[in-house]
Structure 1
Amino acid sequence: MARAEMKMPEEFLLKVSRLNEKTDEILPRVLETGGQVVLERVKSNLSAVVGKGTKNPSRSTGELESALGLSPAKPKRDGSGWDIKVGFAEPRSGGGSNAKIANILEYGKHGQPPKPFLKPAKTQSRKACIETMEAKLDEEVRGI
């Protein structure tokens, strides 16, 4: 049986080893870059639905929109990867829950039709988020 041996270029092997050492530094920056793309889409969708199409004048204070933010990138508990979340800071100034209000907006309730903003944002920003993260990863790898 024939045998073939291939050797990788030294420069490539050095970059791969340095990349392995810096993974914990690079991945959070890449995820935060992608998270910003999704966050901006969620903010714009939320602004478009809050107070629109109501029978009575809107009572919106802007607190829900200002509570929207991005969590820091952290490794998952089970060690299967990294995680970053777009969500709402809690609690509201009156003691209520921003997540509850966002849920009512997204899915509606009796007498209040749904005004989805999260699910459309996920769909609309998916491609741009992936492209942004790929570009950031390429930039980080070139910087090694």
Structure 2
Amino acid sequence: MAKTTIKMPEDFLMKLSRLGEKTDEIIPVVLKAGGEVVEEKVKSNLQSIIGKGTKEDSRSTGELVSALGVSSARQDKDGNFNVKVGFSEPRSDGKSNAMIAGVLEYGKHGQPPKPFLSPAKASSKKACVDAMISAFEKEVEKI
């Protein structure tokens, strides 16, 4: 599975540090808002490439698209909160969604790559940050 890191702006991080004990409640809400923006872009890109430009008729079941989702915010060993946009496992046919996504993204012998994750990362970065800032401001207003 591809890994993406998007750094938060410094002024945004400074606001977070001033919130004290409410930070652990606000960060998951903010990250989920950003993750949903990225998820929508990945889903849109994925739907646009599945079954396109193939020599044979598409055998797509829609299972890969339906397995796409955003994880809940979790804290890692370094104390950083993270959300992941990815595919749930397993598939009904026993194959891995991550493997199928990797083949689509990078191709294989006889199958050219059809990138959908990399373009989604690049094109949704600004919208993701804007959504997180908006969610953060809404949460701060509640305090």
TM-score scaled by structure 1?
0.85
Cα deviation for residue 18 of structure 1 reads 8.4
Asked whether 1:64 is paired with 2:56, we answer: no
Name stretches of at least 5 consecutive residues in structure 1 with no aligned partner: 1-15
Distance in 2 of aligned mates of 1:111 and 1:62: 22
Summarize the alignment of residues 1-144 of structure 1 with structure 2, pairs less than 5 Å apart.
19-79=19-79, 81-144=80-143
- Give a deviation string over 1:5-36, Cα, whole Å, max 9, x none: xxxxxxxxxxx998211111100000000000
Distance 1:26 1:69 in 2: 21
Q: Distance in 1 between matches of 2:46 and 2:18?
A: 41
How far off is 1:135 after superposition?
1.0
| Amino acid aligned to 1:132 | A
Structure 2: gaps of 5 or more residues: 1-15
Shift in alpha-carbon separation, 1:110–1:17, aligned structure 2, 3 A: closer
**Greater Cα radius of gyration, structure 1 or 2:** 1
Query: Which runs of at least 4 in structure 1 moved beyond 4 Å after TM superposition?
Result: none
For residues 89-141 of structure 1, give each alpha carbon's deviation from its aligned partner in whole angstroms, at most 9, with x where no partner exists.
01110111000000000000000000000000000000000011011111111
Give the distance between the partners of 1:17 and 1:108, measured in 2 at CA. Answer: 43
Over the aligned positions, Cα root-mean-square deviation in angstroms equals 1.5
User: Which amino acid letter does the alignment assign opposite residue 97 of structure 1?
Assistant: S
Q: Distance in 2 between matches of 1:72 and 1:141?
A: 20
Task: Give the whole-Å Cα distance in 1 for the aligned partners of 2:91 and 2:48.
Answer: 21
